Amino acid sequence: MSDLISEKQNHVAVIKLNRPDRMNAISNDMLTALGKSLEEFDQDQDVRAIILTGEGRGFCAGLDLKDTVAGRGIGGSLTSGGAAHISTRDLPTVTLNRIDVPVICAINGGAAGYGFDLALGCDLRLISDRAKLAPAFAKRGIVPESGGTWYLPRLIGWARSCEIGFLGDDISPDRALELGLVNKIVAHDALMTEAHAWADKIASNAPLAIRAMKRLFRHGLSEDFESHTHHVLMQLMVLFKSNDVGEGIKAFLEKRDAKFTGR
């Protein structure tokens, strides 16, 4: 069995971490496969939403420490002095931030270390009532190496980010929702059904607009307001040339659901 399962049905793609015996700890091969799968689905104009989840009891237990000890993977490269050979552009968490297709993380179990950062890098997060977040970086002598130090202050502010990072305590679903780290708590057995419902709803909307909106959200994090509104206007002018805008207006006037083609 592959350590990563990727499949597409209609306009929704599902990526599943598939090392349940290792709580889906990320191996070196999985790093490569995950980045490639995200890129391929982003380039597929038929894909309008991606669901990322894990097989078995865990979402992702972090980087595989066996790989680290053996000198493989991110941790192994760093500890063996091979940091100069790592290209951050090719890391899955960087790819996740760069792509324009919306990604829903269905956190089916524990999300620790790299798995915690991976979840934060998704656009929407649904968490099982049996899952937990485990930001135990300080307890391992490291920092959130794959996006956590960037995402946390933007998602929940400085003081709460420091609380999570410095204390390193596990975070329950209720606490994660209270902090704003997840969008919704879902009964465990209904998690994937709910994730697909959200993905299908996204996929029913105009895909060009959704991709553009995600890009603008991302760019807006580093732009001043006036510059950003200029870029929004430029994007709007491009969208007005699409068939989807005409279909959206026509569907509104005819009081029916729009059928968008992404053109």
pLDDT tens for 147-159 read 999 999 999 999 9
CB count in 10 Å sphere of residue 167: 12
The predicted structure's pLDDT at residue 143: 87
Question: What share of the chain in percent tops pLDDT 70?
Answer: 91
Backbone angles phi, psi at 141, to 5 degrees: 80, 20
Amino acid symbol at 246 = G
When pLDDT is cut at 50, 70 and 90, the band that residue 91 belongs to is confident
When pLDDT is cut at 50, 70 and 90, the band that residue 71 belongs to is low
Amino acid symbol at 128 = S
Is the pLDDT assigned to residue 79 strictly greater than 60?
no
DSSP run (H or E) holding 235: helix 225-239
Return the higher-pLDDT residue of 227 and 88: 227
The predicted structure's pLDDT at residue 184: 98
CATH number of 4-204: 3.90.226.10
Phi-psi region of 10 (alpha: psi -120 to 50; beta: other; left: phi over 0): left
Q: Where are the chain's structural domains?
A: 4-204, 207-253
- Name the H helices within 99-183: 114-120, 148-156, 158-167, 173-179
Question: What share of the chain in percent tops pLDDT 90?
Answer: 83
Is the pLDDT assigned to residue 84 strictly greater than 50?
no
The predicted structure's pLDDT at residue 152: 96
